[in-house]
Amino acid sequence: MKTNAQLMAATIMALGMAAVSTSLMAADDETKPEMEKCGGIVKAGMNDCAGNGHACAGQGKADSDPNEWVKLPKGTCEKLTGGAVIEAKDMKMK
């Protein structure tokens, strides 16, 4: 069984790889990847904007909150432990 530290390290590594991949793809203006909101993998204070009862990025208060999200290239989220694609209708306001 993996420890929380191991899971967090794997999540951070996956997010870093996704960010590098996105940066490389963004360099080619003709090939922009489709993005999706991925919830349940975000560390407190590292979320993208608007969700879970607040209006701005970086205001998530708990690690791995299923309603806090970051944008990742489509298809990446479901490959991450604890990751779930969030649709606008699924967002919960506190």
CA 6 to CA 1: how far, in whole Å?
10
Q: Which residues are registered as beta bridge partners of 69?
A: 39
The pLDDT tens digits of the residues spanning 59-80 come to 888 898 888 899 999 999 999 9
Sequence ranges of the domains in the chain: 4-90
The pLDDT tens digits of the residues spanning 1-45 come to 567 777 777 777 777 666 666 555 555 556 888 999 999 999 998
**Rounded to 5°, angle at Cα 68 from 7 and 48:** 100
* 47 Cβ neighbours under 8 A, 6+ residues apart: 57, 58, 59, 60, 65, 68, 69, 70
